[in-house]
Amino acid sequence: MNFDIEKLDNEQATNKNKLFCISTFGCQMNEEDSEKLSGMLKRIGYERTENKEEASIIIFNTCCVRENAENKVYGNLGRLKKQKEKNPDLIIAICGCMMQQKGKADEMLKRFPYVDIIFGTHNSYKFPEYLNRVKTEGVQVKEIVDKETEIVEGLPIDRKSDTKAFVTIMYGCNNFCTYCIVPYVRGRERSRKPKDIENEIKELVAKGYKEVTLLGQNVNSYGKGLEESITFADLLRRINEIKGLERIRFMTSHPKDLTLDVVYAIRDCDKVCEQIHLPVQSGSNRILKEMNRHYTKEQYLELAKKIRSEIPDVTFTTDLIVGFPGETEEDVNETIELIKEVRFDAAFTYLYSRRNYTPADKMENQIPDDVKHERFNKLVKISNDVIAQGNKEAEGKIYEVLVEGTSKNDESRLTGRTRNARLVNFEGSKELIGQLVNVKIVKANSFSLIGEVIK
């Protein structure tokens, strides 16, 4: 289905000088959805602000993957009560994954009756329509679509960066890992047509973008259900042909589906970067089975070894869950051994969080919070040591860096990433932003590198 973008253009004049603010929680999927909400709002004349106090529209794009993600939204909405009392014209909207949970939208309306619009992940393209109804009819709008809809193409996107862009290649997830709520709130897998993906990337390149990250909960199962027969490896090879594009990244790869044809495509395609986000979750076979992950520690290690032998400069990043029901000290030790063996470049470690409707929520032997925290601290310390060691090995080497902007901590410095996704800060002229430069690493910090541009 194609979005009717011109329909938005009639409203531009009415919204001149009005501002909106979007707070985004969760993963890159939500980031990309927020870029589309922002794109639609700009198209109808609004401008973006980061300051809620001056905004006419405030949107919370929510996440429910862990309990703390939800708590952040409650806190934020509570604080808006006074602002809405002072300014009744303020429009407050909540959307995203949290709203897709059964009964959640009604619960939110009860708790925060001053919210004006609630919608879910499958109908966010209708936001301008909802906004119009609130403004013209003065009603409260709540619309949650339970089942995934047809993919909507052609939405305007207001991207955060001018250099690199997220491009969603598929929506939803079919895996049902026993701890995870994502399949319940994002629906089943649906792939975008390759032509639509290629056209979007060509448009980005024409605007000067150098890097794309292809997004999906499990990019390796791309293509299923499409009329055209195509795999993820084929898609990588096709995107690699796009002239002017410099770098291709992708996330997330499920270890059970990362086949050798994908490994060979990464090896053969000059634009595909040597970096793989390969969430392992646990190093214990017993826990992996309980998690419904469909691979063993040995298979994961074998895969990582094979990838390293084909792609020598490759770096691996991962996600880890600590405190899954029934986890023992022995299981944690197995995860520690795996971290040391794979030598991850980054590890996102999460405390297991009970999620409604998921099988793991009903499992016995839930782990007490203090034990979870203790194990978490242990895992984080070991991962950090491994990461620092990997960074140390980069010292003295020269890397190609895509300059993304100025460093967050020091505006006088530039920042960017190597092809294998290491973060590098260095001195240089702002004119280099958006360009590829060669940088020699002079010092490794725990989570970043300091470099010097090679003339």
Residues forming the site for ligand F3S (CB under 6 A)? 26-27, 29-30, 63-65, 97, 182, 185-186
Contact of residue 210 among ligand SAM, ligand F3S, ligand SF4, none (CB under 5-8 Å per partner type): none
Least distance between ligand F3S and beta carbon 26 (Å):
3
Least Å distance, CB 347 to ligand SF4, is 15
> Which helix or strand (DSSP H or E) is residue 403 part of?
strand 398-406
Is 180 annotated for ligand binding?
Answer: yes
Q: Are strands 117-119 and 141-143 parallel, antiparallel or unpaired?
A: parallel
Rule CB under 6 A: say whether 43 interacts with ligand SAM: no
The rounded distance, in Å, linking the Cα atoms of 424 and 376 is: 27
Structure tokens, 430: 């702002």
Q: Is 63 annotated as a binding residue?
A: yes
Q: Which is nearer to ligand SF4, 176 or 348 (CB)?
A: 176
Contact between 62 and ligand SF4 per CB under 6 A: no
63 binds, among ligand F3S, ligand SF4, ligand SAM, none (CB under 5 to 8 A by kind): ligand F3S
Query: What are the tokens at 268?
Result: 């053969």
Rounded to the nearest whole angstrom, what is the least distance from the CB of residue 413 to ligand F3S in the complex? 31
Q: CB under 5 to 8 A by kind: which of ligand SF4, ligand SAM, ligand F3S, none does 183 bind?
A: ligand SF4
Indicate which single residue of 101, 221, 281, 282 sits in contact with ligand SAM (rule: CB under 6 A). Answer: 281
Residue of the chain from 96, 183, 255, 283 that contacts ligand SF4 (CB under 6 A): 183
Give which of 429, 399, 398, 393 is closest to 414, Cα–Cα: 429
Closer residue to ligand F3S (CB): 160 or 202: 160
Per CB under 6 A, the list member of 27, 301, 371, 433 interacting with ligand SAM is 27
Is 340 buried (19+), middle (13-18) or exposed (0-12) by CB count in 10 A? middle
Contact 310, 263 (CB under 8 A): yes
Annotation-wise, does 273 bind a ligand?
no
Buried b (16+ CB within 10 A) or exposed e, 411-425: eeebbbbbbbbbbbb
173 is in an annotated binding site: yes
Q: Inter-axis angle of helices 194-206 and 232-240, to 10 degrees?
A: 30
The contact mask relative to ligand SF4 for 137-176 (x = CB under 6 A, - = no) is ------------------------------------x-xx
Contact between 353 and ligand SAM per CB under 6 A:
yes
Measured CA to CA in angstroms, residue 342 lies from 203, 288, 316, 379, 402 at distances of 38, 17, 8, 14, 26
Determine, following the binding rule CB under 6 A, whether residue 380 of this chain makes contact with ligand SAM.
Answer: no
**Eight-state DSSP code of residue 6:** G
Nearer to ligand F3S, 120 or 283 (CB): 120
* 177 annotated to a ligand binding site: yes
Distance separating alpha carbons of residues 18 and 191, to the nearest angstrom: 36
Instruction: State the DSSP H helix or E strand holding residue 58, giving kind and residue range, or none if neither.
Output: strand 57-62
Residue pair 394/422 in contact (Cβ under 8 Å)? The answer is yes
Residues interacting with ligand SF4, by CB under 6 A?
173, 175-177, 180, 182-183, 217-218, 254
